[in-house]
A and B are shown apart, each in its own frame.
Chain A
Amino acid sequence: MSNVSANSEYVSYLDHQGKYKGIMSWIMATDHKRIALLYMYSIMTFFIIGVVLGIMMKLEMLTPGETIMKAKMYNSVFTLHGILMIFMVVIPGLSAVFGNFFLPIHIGAKDVSFPKLNRFSWWIFVVGSIMAVLSQVLKDGPPDTGWTFYAPYSTTTSSNVIMATAAAFVLGFSSILTGLNFIVTIHQLRAPGMKFFNMPLFPWALYATAWIQLLATPVIGITLLMLIAERAFHIGFFDPALGGDPLLFQHLFWIYSHPAVYVMMLPAMGVITEIIPTFCQRQIYGYKAVAVSSLAIAGVGFLVWGHHMYTSGMSDTARWFFSLLTFIVAVPSAIKVFNWITTMYKGSIDVKPPFLYALAFIFLFIIGGTTGLLLGSVATNVQVHDTAFVVAHFHYIIFGGMGFAFFAAIHYWLPKMYGRMYDFKMANIGLVINFIGFNLLYFPQFVIGIQGMPRRYFDYPAKFQPAQLVSSIGGFILVTGLIIMIYTLVKGARKGAPAPANPWRGSTLEWQIPSPPSVENFDEEPVIKENPYDYK
Chain B
Amino acid sequence: MSQHTAHIEEHRDDEASKLGMWLFIFTELLLFGGLFLVYSIFRMQYPVEFRECSLELSVTIGAINTVVLLFSSMTVAMSMTAIQKNDMKKALLYIGVTLFCAAIFLVNKYFEWSGKFHHGLYPGSELMTHLDRGHHLYFSLYFFMTGLHALHIIIGMTLLFVCYFKVRKNTIHSQDYVLLENSALYWHLVDLIWIFLFPLMYLIS
Partner of B34, one of A180, A188, A233, A252: A252
B19 adjacent to chain A (CB < 8 Å): yes
Asked whether B5 lies within 8 Å of A519 as measured between CB atoms, the reply is yes
Asked whether A188 lies within 8 Å of B27 as measured between CB atoms, the reply is no
- Chain B 1-12: CB-based contact to A (< 8 A → 1; otherwise 0): 111110010010
What CA separation (Å) do A114 and B19 show in the bound complex?
11
B133 adjacent to chain A (CB < 8 Å): yes
Asked whether A234 lies within 8 Å of B129 as measured between CB atoms, the reply is yes
What are the residues of chain A within 8 A of B148 when measuring CB–CB?
225
- Shortest B152–chain A CB gap in Å is 13
Instruction: Give A162-193 interface residues, CB cut-off 8 Å to B.
Output: 176, 180-181, 183-184, 187-189
Q: How many residues of A contact B (CB 8 A)?
A: 45
Once A6-B1, A229-B144, A233-B140 are accepted as A-B contacts, the answer to whether A214 and B34 lie under 8 Å apart by CB is no
What are the residues of chain B within 8 A of A180 when measuring CB–CB?
20, 23-24, 27
User: What number of A-B contacts does a CB cutoff of 8 Å give?
Assistant: 110
Q: Which of B35-43, B66-74, B103-111, B165-173 contacts A (4 or more CB under 8 A)?
A: B35-43
What CA separation (Å) do A218 and B26 show in the bound complex?
9
Partner of A221, one of B1, B8, B31, B140: B31
Chain A residue with Cβ nearest B124: A233
What are the residues of chain B within 8 A of A181 when measuring CB–CB?
20
B33 adjacent to chain A (CB < 8 Å): yes
What are the residues of chain A within 8 A of B8 when measuring CB–CB?
110-111, 519-520
Q: How large is the interface on B (under 10, 10 to 19, 20 to 34, 35 or more residues)?
A: 35 or more
- Shortest B63–chain A CB gap in Å is 27
- Chain A 223-242: CB-based contact to B (< 8 A → 1; otherwise 0): 10110010011111100000
Once A214-B26, A236-B136 are accepted as A-B contacts, the answer to whether A222 and B35 lie under 8 Å apart by CB is yes
What are the residues of chain A within 8 A of B4 when measuring CB–CB?
6, 520, 523
Partner of B20, one of A184, A225, A236, A520: A184
A113 adjacent to chain B (CB < 8 Å): yes
Asked whether B19 lies within 8 Å of A248 as measured between CB atoms, the reply is no
Asked whether A215 lies within 8 Å of B27 as measured between CB atoms, the reply is yes
A313 adjacent to chain B (CB < 8 Å): no
The interface residues of chain B, by DSSP majority, are classed as helix
Asked whether B1 lies within 8 Å of A4 as measured between CB atoms, the reply is yes
What CA separation (Å) do A1 and B26 show in the bound complex?
42
Once A219-B30, A221-B31, A222-B32 are accepted as A-B contacts, the answer to whether A9 and B23 lie under 8 Å apart by CB is no
- Shortest A524–chain B CB gap in Å is 11
Instruction: Give B173-189 interface residues, CB cut-off 8 Å to A.
Output: none
What CA separation (Å) do A229 and B143 show in the bound complex?
11
Asked whether A188 lies within 8 Å of B15 as measured between CB atoms, the reply is yes
- Chain B 121-144: CB-based contact to A (< 8 A → 1; otherwise 0): 001100011000100110010001
What CA separation (Å) do A114 and B136 show in the bound complex?
44
What are the residues of chain B within 8 A of A221 when measuring CB–CB?
31, 34
What are the residues of chain B within 8 A of A184 when measuring CB–CB?
16, 19-20, 23
Asked whether A226 lies within 8 Å of B137 as measured between CB atoms, the reply is no
B112 adjacent to chain A (CB < 8 Å): no
Asked whether A235 lies within 8 Å of B24 as measured between CB atoms, the reply is no
- Shortest A164–chain B CB gap in Å is 19
Partner of A235, one of B11, B37, B140: B140
- Shortest B42–chain A CB gap in Å is 8
Once A215-B26, A218-B31 are accepted as A-B contacts, the answer to whether A187 and B2 lie under 8 Å apart by CB is no
Asked whether A222 lies within 8 Å of B31 as measured between CB atoms, the reply is yes
Asked whether B37 lies within 8 Å of A183 as measured between CB atoms, the reply is no
Once A229-B123, A229-B144 are accepted as A-B contacts, the answer to whether A6 and B3 lie under 8 Å apart by CB is yes
Asked whether A218 lies within 8 Å of B27 as measured between CB atoms, the reply is yes
- Shortest B21–chain A CB gap in Å is 9
Partner of A1, one of B1, B15, B136: B1
- Shortest B6–chain A CB gap in Å is 10
Partner of A113, one of B5, B20, B34: B20
- Chain A 196-218: CB-based contact to B (< 8 A → 1; otherwise 0): 00000000000000000011011
What are the residues of chain B within 8 A of A252 when measuring CB–CB?
34, 37-38
A2 adjacent to chain B (CB < 8 Å): yes
A22 adjacent to chain B (CB < 8 Å): no
- Shortest A525–chain B CB gap in Å is 12
Once A6-B4, A248-B38 are accepted as A-B contacts, the answer to whether A229 and B19 lie under 8 Å apart by CB is no
What CA separation (Å) do A1 and B3 show in the bound complex?
10
Asked whether B140 lies within 8 Å of A245 as measured between CB atoms, the reply is no
Asked whether B34 lies within 8 Å of A219 as measured between CB atoms, the reply is yes
- Shortest B138–chain A CB gap in Å is 11
What are the residues of chain A within 8 A of B27 when measuring CB–CB?
176, 180, 214-215, 217-218
What CA separation (Å) do A229 and B23 show in the bound complex?
27
What are the residues of chain B within 8 A of A248 when measuring CB–CB?
38, 41
Asked whether A235 lies within 8 Å of B13 as measured between CB atoms, the reply is no
A461 adjacent to chain B (CB < 8 Å): no
What CA separation (Å) do A467 and B123 show in the bound complex?
51
Chain B residue with Cβ nearest A115: B8
What CA separation (Å) do A68 and B28 show in the bound complex?
46
Asked whether B16 lies within 8 Å of A188 as measured between CB atoms, the reply is yes
What CA separation (Å) do A188 and B32 show in the bound complex?
28
- Chain A 46-81: CB-based contact to B (< 8 A → 1; otherwise 0): 000000000000000000000000000000000000
A315 adjacent to chain B (CB < 8 Å): no
What CA separation (Å) do A218 and B144 show in the bound complex?
16
- Shortest A155–chain B CB gap in Å is 13
- Shortest B30–chain A CB gap in Å is 4
What CA separation (Å) do A188 and B15 show in the bound complex?
8
Chain B residue with Cβ nearest A183: B23
Once A110-B8, A219-B33, A248-B41 are accepted as A-B contacts, the answer to whether A214 and B23 lie under 8 Å apart by CB is yes
What are the residues of chain A within 8 A of B15 when measuring CB–CB?
188
What CA separation (Å) do A181 and B2 show in the bound complex?
26
What are the residues of chain A within 8 A of B20 when measuring CB–CB?
113-114, 117, 180-181, 184
- Shortest A21–chain B CB gap in Å is 16
What CA separation (Å) do A187 and B13 show in the bound complex?
12
What CA separation (Å) do A183 and B140 show in the bound complex?
36
24 contacts between A and B (CB under 8 A): A6-B3, A110-B8, A111-B8, A114-B16, A117-B20, A180-B20, A184-B19, A184-B23, A187-B16, A188-B13, A188-B19, A214-B26, A215-B27, A219-B33, A222-B30, A222-B35, A226-B35, A232-B124, A233-B124, A234-B129, A235-B136, A235-B137, A245-B41, A520-B5
Other than the given A184-B19, A188-B19, 18 more pairs (CB < 8 A) read A110-B8, A110-B11, A113-B13, A113-B20, A180-B24, A183-B23, A215-B27, A218-B28, A218-B30, A219-B30, A219-B33, A222-B31, A223-B34, A235-B123, A235-B136, A235-B137, A252-B34, A252-B38
Q: Pick the 5 closest A-B CB pairs, nearest first.
A: A222-B34, A233-B124, A218-B30, A233-B123, A218-B31
